[in-house]
Amino acid sequence: MNAAHAPLPADVLLGARNLSVRFGGLLAVSDVSFDVRRGEVFTLIGPNGAGKTTVFNLISRIYQPTSGAIRYAGPAGELALTEQPAHRVAGLGIARTFQNIELFEHASVLHNLLIGRHTRRETGLLADMFFTPRVRAAELRAREKAEEIIDFLDLQHYRDTLIAGLPYGVRKVVEMARALCTEPQLLLLDEPSSGLNVEETDDMAFWIQDIRDELGITVLMVEHDMSLVSRVSDRVLAMNQGQVLAMGTPHEVQTHPGVVEAYLGTIDDVSSLRRTDAAGLEVRA
């Protein structure tokens, strides 16, 4: 049985098998394999250009792998995600945020969240035109879910505010809220702390933990801030130049010699060294 059809273990929600992506002469991802277990926060780390976002784009179906496969055990049953078109991904229970915020700036917070309910649409065009009782009921359910997420992320104060008038940190939370409105099983967070100050990053850590613990959503994250990674991650995969360097707990990966070298360069003796690089990786003896 090849990788595209091998069943996943019962506790695994998503499994990448021998993924490789080549863009012309550039091998962006080379033979990467990992499993994301149900109910965990799994984080991809690595220097710029390591291939982390490329892996995200493979899962989102923006890119097609040159070789390898991704299996996903979603609400529709286990399937080969790499055989699905991009427009089906959200409907399969996978939601994503982006490093560069992708919101409708001239719509309110509430309306942006309602747009996130589009994947849960239950009625057809004709019924929508006549605003049938079924359409009204569906709209009510969408509003209830949006309000539930607004309360969950403490966005009540901003409910009717246009996105263009919000601080950057609040916009990051709104984008995450919109993703949650799709009721995903797997949430992809692309550098959720990017552009946030220390206090906002602390808040983001609490949200991520609550998303896992209270909503039961599995989180796959790309992140540079190692303080955030250490606080919220159950397991970490470190990449460099498209390849896997190490995988394990945050502490195991943080102290792995290959990861230290990738972030800081070769060092002969770290027995008494403690320092932090620009990406926030702290190395302890």
Per-residue pLDDT of the chain (285 residues), as tens digits, is: 565 568 999 999 999 999 999 999 999 999 999 999 999 999 999 998 899 999 999 999 999 999 999 999 999 899 999 999 998 999 999 999 988 888 999 999 999 999 888 776 666 665 566 566 776 777 888 899 999 999 999 999 999 999 999 999 999 999 999 999 999 999 999 999 999 999 999 999 999 999 999 999 999 999 999 999 999 999 999 999 999 999 999 999 999 998 888 876 654 444 433 444 434 454 433
Fold classified for 1-93+185-202+216-256? Rossmann fold (3.40.50)
Contacts of 74 (CB under 8 A, 6+ apart): 13, 92, 93, 94, 185, 186
Count of CB atoms situated within 10 Å of the CB of 84: 17
| 263, two tokens | 């972030």
Rounded Cα gap, residues 101 and 171, in angstroms: 7
Contact 225, 196 (CB under 8 A): no
Distance, CA of 266 to CA of 268 (rounded, Å): 7
For the chain, the straight-line distance linking the first and the last C-alpha, in angstroms and rounded, comes to: 44
d(CA 269, CA 214): 43
Task: Count how many Cα atoms sit within 13 Å of the Cα of residue 106 in the half-sphere of its side chain.
Answer: 0
Where do the structural domains in the chain lie, given as residue ranges? 1-93+185-202+216-256, 103-183
> 252: how many CB neighbours lie within 10 A of its CB?
14
- Strand 26-37 and strand 77-80: pairing? unpaired
Angle at 190 between CA 198 and CA 114, to 5 degrees: 100
CA–CA–CA angle 61, 83, 10 (5° rounding): 95
pTM over 0.75: yes
Taking CA atoms, 123 is separated from 94, 117, 181, in Å, by: 21, 12, 18
